[in-house]
Amino acid sequence: MAVVHIRIDNRLIHGQVTVAWASFFGANHLICTNDDVAKDPIQKMILPQAARGVKTSVLSVAETAEYVKSEQAQKEKILIIAKFPEDALGLLEAGVEVDHVNVGNQAIIPGTKPVHVTRSVAVTPEHAEVYRAIAKKVKKLTAQTMTTHKEEDLLELLEKKGL
């Protein structure tokens, strides 16, 4: 089975991911992917604890791309949580296949001047370009905070905000 979904959420693992999203997709393995987070021993220890018993890995983008192609991954339903859009694009460029990428939360990064396209998604012009590149590689790119909320087409939201 391998990857059932990619969610971009710079909070990584929290209640919405472990309770709602993992259940919604029937995921039995969460992978947090970001090169800096994968090098941080504290986050590598804390993130699996936040997953409330769901198997969790904290990997770099390259490690994630390699793992999802493994024989073991084919037996799993993997929900990937990418910290930033660049992480998700890196996975897609490395050959990770998925139909749908969801942007759940992108908080303002200090020192940037983003535009809020939804209440929980702040986008810089640079990230808007990354999202456009992601959209070319998947069937669907949406913004959706919770599984019970309506999906919104991220490219349409970017367009409305002049990004």
Q: What is the structure's pLDDT at 3?
A: 96
Domain boundaries, the chain: 2-160
- Taking CA atoms, 13 is separated from 21, 46, 55, in Å, by 10, 10, 12
- Taking CA atoms, 112 is separated from 70, 74, 108, 109, in Å, by 38, 39, 7, 6
- Active-site residue among 14, 29, 100, 127? 14
Q: What is the structure's pLDDT at 52?
A: 80
Q: What is the structure's pLDDT at 141?
A: 98
Residue 14 is a catalytic residue: yes
Closest CA to 79 of 10, 163, 158, 1: 1
What size, in residues, is the chain?
A: 163
Q: What is the structure's pLDDT at 93?
A: 98
Closest CA to 153 of 135, 137, 129, 136: 135
Q: What is the structure's pLDDT at 1?
A: 65
Is domain 2-160 annotated with CATH 3.40.35.10? yes
* Structural tokens at position 38: 């994968």
Q: What is the structure's pLDDT at 49?
A: 87
Contact 80, 119 (CB under 8 A): no
Helix, strand, coil share of the chain (percent; to 5):
40, 25, 35
The list of the chain residues with pLDDT below 70 reads 1
Q: What is the structure's pLDDT at 18?
A: 75
> Rounded to the nearest 5°, which phi and psi values hold at 31?
-120, 120
